[in-house]
Structure 1
Amino acid sequence: MHRFCPSLSFLVEAEPRLENRRGQKGLFGRGTRGLRDVRINVPSAVVRGDDAILECYYDLEGDQLYAVKWYLGITEFYRYTPKEIPPIKQFPTQNGLTVRESASNATCVVLEHVPRSISGRYSCEVSADAPSFFTSMQTAYLQVVDLPPNDPYISGMKTRYHHGEILKANCTSEHSNPAANLTWYINGMPAEQNHVRNFRQKSADGQHYT
């Protein structure tokens, strides 16, 4: 199912550090006219094969937008420049990242059918046009994950135990990346950690067993 940029979203605001394209830097308060309140919403985890929506919002306070650029690490992969035709440019990467241009715009980018190789730090850089020429960037981490295909299962447990007998059992979750976190409960209460041992293995295909 294709995903598109939503009209509303939960945004985490940050007081950005602004940089003038002429080289001047500084912190600018809310009373300063020009680009401010750049904020991004990047999912911390996305299931491999799903679409991912990256959002970048900002207040130009009357200035004109020069460009919005998205980076994975230090590599630019998407640019929106409203004065150019077409306004959207997509730059090829080596890790299989693909943008659905028809669903993306000046504030939102949709990544198609994400592979694990595109996990990393994503940055949105917003640049205002004249007269301020301010630039601000915000960054967040996205991880592509593989969910376990099945529920965890318990092995090695008997149905009855004598008083004082030692209980040994395994709870296993297979084929996930990263490894699943498992918690034992006894009569609805978490088991004491000194009674629990964690074992994690990695298969040849990069999947984890817990």
Structure 2
Amino acid sequence: MTFLLINASPRKGKNCYQVLENVKNVLDDNNLKYKVLNIYDLSIEYCNACGYCEKTGFCHINDDMKNLYKEFNNSIGTIVISPVYFDSVPAKLKTLIDRTQAFYASKYILKKSSIDRNKYRVGMFISIGGSKAYKTQFLGGEVVVDFFFKSINTKLIHKYYITDSDKIQIKNNIEALECIKNLTLDLMKRASKN
């Protein structure tokens, strides 16, 4: 049972990294395997809508996504940790998500899935906004990430949004850290049931 932990922040040691460390600690304490994907350390080219995946079910671009397709297929779950950029997710995360078009095309266009559709996987999305809460703060990211989890055949179990992190850093936000711990524990339980 391996979880994929996607860190979508380019800033080392800041709020997303603190959330990531918290999640890793919970998984470590429960002897669960995980792999951290710091996506700003990966080479992921943009989807250019070439149509190759609509004919083959696979992407022709030779970069770090080649291994990620296998990782998503083999995982028991995925946890995405992302900052808010203009009410959505950072461009690098959106690029990764766009490249899962290969899974989408294989499932819905070719009707021959390149990801195991019978395997049960669970997911969680944790998004961190620097400003005080406002109505649309997480809306764009939620729409994009919902579609991502459908594309990688993973049931999105939890969405957790943290606001005002410019004022209260995550490492000092005891309530948020406790909630993240509990949500991670719940995700683990759900993953182990199948």
Q: What is the TM-score of this pair, normalised by structure 2? A: 0.22
Larger radius of gyration: 1
Of structures 1 and 2, the one scoring higher in RCO (CA 8 A, sep 6+) is 2
Q: Which has the higher strand share?
A: 1
Q: What is the TM-score of this pair, normalised by structure 1? A: 0.21
